[in-house]
Every structure is written in C-alpha cells, then in structure tokens.
Structure 1
Amino acid sequence: MPTSSQQMSMEFLVRVERSNGSRPAGCGSALDQLYWELCDIWGIVVQAAAALGFVSCVALATVLLLWMACTSRRCGRPVGTVALLLFLLGTAGMFALPFSFVISLSPQTCPVRVFLFGVLFCIVFSALLARGLALMDVGLVRGWREAGVAVTLTLVQVIISVEWLLVVLIRDERTCEFSQAEFAMLQIYVMVLLAAALATALRFLCDAYITYSYSYTGRQTHRHTKLQAALLVLTLLLSVCIWIVWITLLIYGNHAMGHSPDWDDPVISIALTANGWVLLLGHGFTQVHFMCQCEARTKDPPLHFTGWTSPGKTPAAVTEETKTGRDNGGFQMDTDERRGKDMESPGIIMTEISTEKDYSIPRPTTTNINKPYDEYYIHRV
C-alpha cells in the first residue's frame, strides 16, 4: 500500500508529464510539452475569454480613474470608488491567473497558483462584503474605511497562503507537491468571506424592499437601491454555484469519471474565467454606471418653491405668460390694474364676480323655528 506522500508524488508526476503521445493541432514540434494545452481547444477558448475580460477590467478602471479626477475637483472624491478600484484590480488578476493553469503544473507555475488563487478571490469577495456593509450604512465601512476593511480582510488570506506555500515548498524536500483536496482546503477562508458577503447582500436586499425614501428624488433613488441590491445578490449566488461545481469536480467528480489528472486544470481555468465574468458584469459595469448616474443627479437644479410659499411675491424667473394667468404660477394674486378685465388665456376666462348676484349656499331649516325641541321634551320619559 503506497503512503499518502507517495500518492501525492505520483499524482504530481502524472499532472506534470501527462500526455498520450499526441501533440494538439497547431502546436509546433519545437514547443515544450508543458505548453501543449495552449494549443488545445479548451485552452484557446479560455485564453480568449480571459484576455477579453482582462482588457475590459483595465478599460473600466481607466474610465473610473478619469471620472474620479474630473469629479473630485468639484465635489470631492465619490464614496466607494477606491473599493471599486480594488474590486476591478482583483477581477483583472482573476482573468490573468487562468494562463498559469493552462500551462501544465511545474515548479514555476505552482507558487503562482497556490498564492494568487486565494488572494485574488479574497480581494474580490472582501470588496463585495465591504460594499454590502456600506450600503447598509454600517459606520465601520464609511468613506475610506470601506477600502480599508477590504484590504484588512485580504491580508488574512495573504498570511495563510504564504505560510501554506512555505510548508509545501520545503516539505520533505519536494518541490510544490500537493493534492487537489489540500488545494481546496486552502480556500476555506475565501469561502467564509463569500458566505458572509452573500448573507450581507441578502440582508440589504430585504431592507431595500421594505423601506422607502421621501426625498424629492426618493423614488428614483429607491429604485436604484433595489436594483443594486438584486444585482449584488445575483452576483454572489452565481459565484457560490461556480465554487460548488469546481470544488465538487476537483475533489470527487473528475476522479469518479476517470478524468482526474487531465480535467483538473481545465476545471479550475474555466471556473476562474466564468467567475470573473460574473463579477465583472454583475458588479463592475453596473457599479460604475450607478456612480455616474448619481453624479448626474447631483447636477440637477433644486426645486423652486417661491411661488408656493410667498404668493404675493413674483419670482424673477417667471415669464410674462405665467403672469397673465395662462399657466398656474403658484396661485399668484392679480394686480389691481387688471381687476374687472378678462384674462387673456386660451381656454380659461377669469372675470371679477358681480356683487348683485347672490352666491350664498342654501342651508336646511326646520319647520318649528321658534321652539324646535318642544316635541322632544313632550315625549320625554
């Protein structure tokens, strides 16, 4: 019976040297065997999707930086932009990481896989957790502290990954040998952050649908709040589904189907790319769109209530058509020189009421005017 260390050594050698002797179409004869999967169909698809996602993250971050530079001169730096930049940074790293899994496992790619996988996911899920707490108006994550909370939560995974990597690299003088179950165990803290972010988003979604804002822009703001809460929950739910699928396949599914060494790297690469696109579409683009809309609403002029609060005063911005009574100018009083004259208004004729006519409202009277309660007192017991 081989020991666990021997099994891990055999699995590592199989993953590094696996090949059925056939070179994928498109790979040159001089290309090393470690890079054969770059020419495979799944490798090409993953590379194309990951490259497009990386470029999208970089472009979105550039647009956000330019927008921050323009808006910070007038009204200060918008709240949440630093945390959003941190989120885009982590998402861009997730799109770059699949290239280390498309290339076969080697002493060079192993440290990158072990360290960056958990750290990048921790950056993203910490930013989503901090965003959910900020939307719930928790004092701990207001302003700059939102990005500070995300960075603090990420440092925990950095310490865990560094310690685990050092143990793996120097354990029994073997170069980066580990099982897939050990790799999944390394992500326990990331899964805890994902669960906490989902619970916070669900709580925010419930609060968004039972509260209402009474400001003059409250209806539109509340609609955006509900949409933002729904998108945050949907993004995290899809991320949970992706994590359940790739962990199940990595630990049990591939081995049960007889494809354990060959399908491990494609499963992780596809999971990284798919989760990156879910995060980018569900939170990256939409969050930048919400911020731009909020900035546009702050440029709208405030409502003018001069005609409502002071009927005797005519606002300076009221036009001549409003003064003639053609439109409702806040129930403004007519001037003395126009009394007795018809107001020239299309469809509305305003004239002074004649004093010779009786406009009083008739009231009901009783037949017994002098003593109306005599009949009541006669029949009194």
Structure 2
Amino acid sequence: MERANGSRPAGCGVALALDFWPLCDTWGIVVQAVAGAGLVICVVLMLALLLWSACASRRRNSVLAALMLFLMATAGIFALPYSFLIALSPQTCPVRVFAFGVLFSVAFGALLARGLSLLGVSLARGWREVCVTAALALVQVIIATEWLLVVLVQDKRTCQFSQPEFAMLQIYVMVLLATALVTALGFLRYTCVTYSYRDSGQVHRQNKVQASLLVLTLLLSVCVWLVWITLLTYGNRAMGRSPLWDDPVISVALTANGWVLLLGHGFTQVRFMCKHNARTKDPPLDFTGWTSSRTPPAAPPDLKTGTDNEGFQTDTDARRGNDVAWSGIFMRELSAEKDYSIPRPTTTNINEPYDEYYGHRV
C-alpha cells in the first residue's frame, strides 16, 4: 500500500517490496506493537490456564475450556492485523475473508454462550457452553467457505471485492454481537432486580460485576464495529481517503476490539476463576474445645467427680463405644452444719386455722 504522495516510508529498505511498506510505516509499527503485546498476553494466559488446569476441580473444567476457546479467538484477532498491513494478494485474501468473520464469531459466540450460562439456560450449562460456541462459529465457517468458493472460484475473480461486500459478509457476526448484547443486558437486569437466598452476598455481587463487565465489553465492541463499518463503506470515500485508509481502519479496529475483549472478558474471567478456586480451598474445620480427652482432668483436693445423669451416660457409652469423651462434673461434699433445705410457707394459726374465719369453734 503506497502513501498518498507515493514516497517510501523512512524505515523501509530499498529492496523491500511495495506491498510490505506499511510494515515499516509509523502507523504500521504502532499497530504491530500494540497487537503483538495483546497476542503475547493471550498466549501467556493460555499457558497459565493450562498449568492451572491440573489443580482445577472437575466441575470447573468446562468453564476453563470455554475460556481457552475465547482466548484462542482473541489471540487470532490480534494476529489478524498483519494480513491487513500487507497489501491484498491471493495469499492474504483467504485469510482476510475467512479468518476475520470466523475469529469474531468464536469470540462473540463465546460471550453469548457465557451470558446464557449465567442466566441459567440449560442449553449452555457445563460442557454444552463449549458446544454452543463451536456451533455458532460453525455457521460463519460455512458462510465464509461458500463465499470464497462461489465468488472467488466460480466467478474467477482474483480476490477482488468491494468494501461493502466485505461488510455484508460479516452480517452473521453482527447478529451474534447484537444477540450477545441483549443476553448480557438481560442478565444484568436479572442480577439487579432479583436476589436469591440460595446465594451468598458475595456470589450475588460477583454476578453483578460479571454482568456489568459483559455488557461493557459488548457495548465497546458494538462501538468499534459501527466505526470501522461506517468508515469502510462511506466515511473514507466521503473524505477522499479510500482506498488508502481502508486497510489501516480495519487493522486499528481489529487491535482495538482485541484489547476490549481481552481486558473486558479474558482478564476478568481468569480472575473470577482464581477467586473461586481460592474460596473452595477452605481450611479444615477446627474442633478444638468442642471435644475433650477421654481421661478426666485432675480434680481439686476438696472436690469429687460425678455425672449429671449416670444412667444416660452409661447408655450413651454402650451405644457409642469406649472412645466417647468424658462428660463428668465436679461435686463438693455438703457441710452438715449448714441448712440446705428449701424454705416453705407456713400459717400463723397452726392448731385452729378456721376459728377466725367462722367466728366460733366448730
């Protein structure tokens, strides 16, 4: 892709072909650096999850697989700008046409499946979440394959297509994006207006955070798609910058949307999984002070041991065995000089109690 004035970028060598000039241009270097950093982070996160999966419980393996699939799609989105930095050719055309829609269909399909799973839809619970993501992406695979075969092979066009045609090829991906956004908004509304007593307050707050981040991620993705489609189909041509700005717009949009997906869903899901794993590893219960030794403690010199209910204690020992804890109490001998009797009420006229009432002796 040549500059507007036809000059070679300062960083390009003399022997470098014209198709590769954007790689050493200023905007190309910036896009490569930002996209490369996102690609490296995605790979590091996937490797860390693979190492962590050995310690993860079996119940969380399905969530781990779904997150791995999403990170793979995000890594592919970060790698895709390189095919738009290089000029359109028979080698880069299939990558642009096929990988663009498929990678975004996997990413947005994973977000849609995640939203359905959080809503409690049985179709997307457990390992079915991964299956739903793969099935949604398979539709775009079929669409892109048919488009390549029909348009580029049957019509014998050497990978020449207009920008509106490229945007129309992504209609299914846009439907996935809109559906995922509606699902995320539904889950956000559910977490705000309902409260389940089966869940703790911490779980409820985490669901609200997940719903908010999911909505934010999809809203920012919608904004990115609206911008690049508008510029690609109308804006660049209206400003007189088409086709010079077409590939840079898509490259920047891919990099920006990749970071939105990575920060909004990738990082947060890894953090939620680590927090969940930390909560499941609670320390064992400490029953210190709940039970005591079988051997009774030494009694003070002036006290003797005893039981509050000897018959009940004997029956309990027979049922539970001899390892039952000692439950005796200490008793003190009562002094014979002191009166421990319970006082009772007495009458003033003991011999003739009814004389005063009747007024005469019976």
Task: Give the TM-score category using the shorter length.
Answer: 0.7 to 0.9
Tell me if 1:260 matches 2:260: no
Tell me if 1:99 matches 2:74: no
What displacement does 1:184 show?
0.2
Kept in 1, the 8 Å contact 2:228–2:249? The answer is yes
The residue aligned with 1:25 is 10
Q: CA RMSD in A?
A: 2.4
Kept in 1, the 8 Å contact 2:62–2:130? The answer is no
The residue aligned with 2:54 is 69
The residue aligned with 1:205 is 188
Q: 1:317 to 1:294 in 2, by over 3 A?
A: farther
The residue aligned with 1:53 is 38
Q: Distance in 2 between matches of 1:231 and 1:317?
A: 51
The residue aligned with 2:179 is 196
Pairs within 5 Å for 1:244-259: 244-259=226-241
Kept in 1, the 8 Å contact 2:2–2:21? The answer is no
Q: Distance in 2 between matches of 1:226 and 1:102?
A: 39
2:168 to 185, 210, 214: 185
Q: Distance in 2 between matches of 1:18 and 1:110?
A: 21
Which runs of 5 or more structure 2 residues have no equivalent in the other structure?
294-326, 333-341, 344-362
Structure (1 or 2) with the larger CA radius of gyration = 2
What displacement does 1:51 show?
0.4
TM-superposition CA deviations, 1:184-209 (whole Å, max 9, x none): 00000000000000000000001111
Pairs within 5 Å for 1:297-316: 297-301=279-283, 315-316=290-291
Which runs of 5 or more structure 1 residues have no equivalent in the other structure?
1-15, 308-313, 319-333, 340-354, 357-381
Kept in 2, the 8 Å contact 1:83–1:127? The answer is yes
Kept in 2, the 8 Å contact 1:213–1:219? The answer is no
Quick one: which amino acid aligns to residue 246 of structure 1?
W
The residue aligned with 2:351 is none
Q: Distance in 2 between matches of 1:317 and 1:279?
A: 56
Tell me if 1:38 matches 2:13: no
What displacement does 1:244 show?
0.3
Quick one: which amino acid aligns to residue 296 of structure 1?
A
Tell me if 1:232 matches 2:217: no
TM-score, normalization by structure 1:
0.74
TM-score, normalization by structure 2:
0.78
What displacement does 1:335 show?
8.3
Tell me if 1:241 matches 2:246: no
Q: 1:25 to 1:17 in 2, by over 3 A?
A: closer
What displacement does 1:141 show?
1.0
Quick one: which amino acid aligns to residue 293 of structure 1?
K
2:255 to 248, 273, 296: 273
Q: 1:338 to 1:123 in 2, by over 3 A?
A: farther
Q: Distance in 2 between matches of 1:253 and 1:275?
A: 19
Q: 1:50 to 1:317 in 2, by over 3 A?
A: farther
1:128 to 92, 98, 111: 111
Q: Distance in 2 between matches of 1:170 and 1:100?
A: 21
What displacement does 1:336 show?
5.3
3-state SS of the aligned residue for 1:159? helix
Q: Distance in 1 between matches of 2:175 and 2:156?
A: 32
Q: Distance in 1 between matches of 2:179 and 2:139?
A: 15
Query: How many residues end up aligned between the 2 structures?
Result: 301
Quick one: which amino acid aligns to residue 107 of structure 2?
V
Q: 1:192 to 1:258 in 2, by over 3 A?
A: same
Quick one: which amino acid aligns to residue 112 of structure 2?
L
The residue aligned with 2:145 is 162
Q: Distance in 2 between matches of 1:252 and 1:274?
A: 20
Quick one: which amino acid aligns to residue 176 of structure 1?
C
Tell me if 1:219 matches 2:204: no
Q: Distance in 2 between matches of 1:192 and 1:78?
A: 29
Q: Distance in 2 between matches of 1:190 and 1:317?
A: 66
What displacement does 1:93 show?
0.2
Quick one: which amino acid aligns to residue 13 of structure 2?
G
What displacement does 1:172 show?
3.8
Q: 1:269 to 1:106 in 2, by over 3 A?
A: same
What displacement does 1:77 show?
4.3
What displacement does 1:69 show?
1.4
3-state SS of the aligned residue for 1:70? coil
Q: 1:293 to 1:338 in 2, by over 3 A?
A: farther
